[in-house]
């Protein structure tokens, strides 16, 4: 098994291309035998991050690209997703779990990423997000150490 799996992709603002990148990241996780739980968390997070880049960042402008950089090793997944949009201020995003927002049909992607990943960080401009997921100990491993 290699020590790291690293790749970069530049994709159009198109959900089919986003799916292909998602599958490539997941294959890398499978290569390093991440658990189904880790794969669940990462797949969901990639979907949310790339969808945000296409929809909110690039505003579905097909001439704009999404840049994806991925590094996977035995311990963690590190993924950077950047769009060509103007960016946003994280603090200005309404809390989707506030009572007044519970019935709104959108605005939950960031909350889900933050909940399922080890770290979610935006650059100052707000057009680039870094997702980090550390390998969670498997139940078998936890059992052995108990």
Cβ within 8 Å of residue 70, ≥6 positions away: 5, 6, 7, 8, 9, 24, 25, 28, 77, 78, 79, 80
- Per-residue binding string, another protein, 54-93, x by CB under 8 A, is -x--------------------------------------
What ranges make up the beta strands (E) of the chain?
4-12, 65-73, 76-82, 119-122, 128-134
The answer to whether residue 143 forms part of the interface with another protein (CB under 8 A) is no
Q: Which of residues 24-43 bind another protein (CB under 8 A)?
A: 37, 40, 43
Give the shortest CB-2-to-another protein separation in angstroms: 27
Q: Closest separation between CB of residue 104 and another protein, Å? A: 7
- On whether the CB atoms of residues 11 and 68 are closer than 8 A, the answer is yes
Contacting another protein (CB under 8 A), which of 12, 19, 73, 76? 19
Tell me how far apart the alpha carbons of residues 111 and 102 are, in angstroms, rounded to a whole number.
13
| Contact status, residue 72 vs residue 32, Cβ threshold 8 Å | yes
Element (H, E) at 141: helix 139-145
Cα 73 to chain centroid distance, Å, stands at 16
Is 111 a binding residue for another protein by CB under 8 A? The answer is yes
Nearest to another protein of 2, 94 (CB atom): 94
23 or 31, CB closer to another protein? 23
Residue numbers at the binding site for another protein (CB under 8 A): 15-16, 18-19, 37, 40, 43-44, 47-48, 51, 55, 96-97, 102-109, 111-112, 115
């Amino acid at each position: 098994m290699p020590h790291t799996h690293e790749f970069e992709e530049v994709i159009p603002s198109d959900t089919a291309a986003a799916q292909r990148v998602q599958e490539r990241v997941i294959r890398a996780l499978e290569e390093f035998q991440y658990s189904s739980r880790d794969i669940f968390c990462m797949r969901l997070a990639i979907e949310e991050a790339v969808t945000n880049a296409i929809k909110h960042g690039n505003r579905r402008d097909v001439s704009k690209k999404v840049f994806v950089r991925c590094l996977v090793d035995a311990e963690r997944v590190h993924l950077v997703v950047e769009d060509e949009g103007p960016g946003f201020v994280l603090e200005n995003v309404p809390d989707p779990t506030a009572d007044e927002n519970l019935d709104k049909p959108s605005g939950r992607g960031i909350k889900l990423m933050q909940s399922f990943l080890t770290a979610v960080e935006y650059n100052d401009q707000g057009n680039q997000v870094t997702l980090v997921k550390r390998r969670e100990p498997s139940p078998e491993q936890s059992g052995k150490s108990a």
